[in-house]
Structure 1
Amino acid sequence: MIPSEIYIHPMITLTRTDSSNPDFVALVKQLDAYLAEKDGREHDFYNQFNKIVNLRNVVVCYANGIPMACGAIKEFDKDSMEVKRMFTQPDARSKGLASRVLSELESWAAELGYKKCVLETGKRQVEAVEFYKKKGYSIIPNYAQYVGVENSVCFQKGLK
């Protein structure tokens, strides 16, 4: 895929790309290290659902040309895209970058004709749970592989 850039601010750029993007791959490695620490022994269970091969809808956020945040969407069902691999560098948190990435992913899903986004995060990722609530996501029953998983919390949001 040829990346396409969206200029948000003179120093902030969002790039639509795919999972072959080396900046996305590097950010996901940091995300995986963070999640391995947070999830402990459960990390291997979650990790099997977080492969990034062949993701066609990836957004990387750059600040002054440096990759600082990322996220992806993949088809969940005919009406829904699942938000995956959301991450912001620790020193760039609370600056609105994740909000920009998520908004871009939601716009992209809507452009592709999807009606909602769904996602799963861990209850131990308290900041993530609060972030998604703040962004208009509602808690739903755990879906698919997350049914019965105590640490998982699933969300959905309708798209405009």
Structure 2
Amino acid sequence: MHTDIQLQTEDPAARDSLLLMEELSTALEAITGDSGNASFDANDVYGPAGCFVVARDASGHALGCGALRPLEPGVAEIKRMYARHGTSGVGSAVLRFLEDEALAMGYQAVWLETRLVNRRAVDFYEARGYQRIANYGKYIGNPLAVCFEKQLPTP
């Protein structure tokens, strides 16, 4: 990982946050045919049970983002994970930050959904210790969706 990646929580309505999420939506649309926009509500990440993080380089340029929202007791959901094309270590850094935040907020596990056709994402999460679980919520019965869980270490 690059040590010059700066991670901090930011407002999902801020300019860089919106720009990163727009890039993500465009990329997802190209890969899966669905931007994923309907599955994210910025209001879910405000408050003490969620957050939105932006990764920046040493010059302050936005490189990637991710969100954490409460899903059910003890479980947070990771949303809007994105690292700009050509960056290295950004996705891993954002994911680690979100996992650490979830642990600090008292969650026992994090869940997420991606599309089976998005092989890069599936491989990325599996390589980072995520296990496939039964599809949850709006993804139940959707054969295009794949859901993952990672148990967080108990403090």
TM-score by length of 2: 0.89
1:88 aligns to 2:83 (yes or no): yes
Partner amino acid, structure 2, of 1:97: V
> Which residue, 78, 90, 93 being the options, matches 1:97?
90
The residue that corresponds to 1:3 in the other structure is: none
The residue that corresponds to 2:124 in the other structure is: 131
The residue that corresponds to 1:62 in the other structure is: 56
The structural deviation recorded for 1:143 is: 0.4
Aligned CA RMSD, in angstroms, stands at 1.5
* CA contact 1:18–1:54 (8 Å) conserved in 2: no
* CA contact 1:19–1:54 (8 Å) conserved in 2: no
Unaligned runs of 5+ in 1: 1-7
CA distance in 2, matches of 1:14, 1:47: 23
The structural deviation recorded for 1:63 is: 1.2
Choose between structure 1 and 2: higher strand proportion: 1
Partner amino acid, structure 2, of 1:21: A
Partner amino acid, structure 2, of 1:49: S
Change (3 A) 1:19 1:103: same
The residue that corresponds to 1:119 in the other structure is: 112
CA distance in 2, matches of 1:54, 1:118: 15
Unaligned runs of 5+ in 2: none
TM-score by length of 1: 0.86
* CA contact 2:44–2:70 (8 Å) conserved in 1: no
- Aligned identity (percent) is 32
CA distance in 2, matches of 1:101, 1:91: 15
Q: Secondary structure at the match of 1:133?
A: helix
CA distance in 2, matches of 1:39, 1:158: 27
Aligned length: 147
The residue that corresponds to 1:38 in the other structure is: 31
Q: CA deviation digits over 1:115-148, x for unaligned, max 9?
A: 0000000111101000100111000010010011
CA distance in 2, matches of 1:48, 1:20: 16
The structural deviation recorded for 1:18 is: 3.1
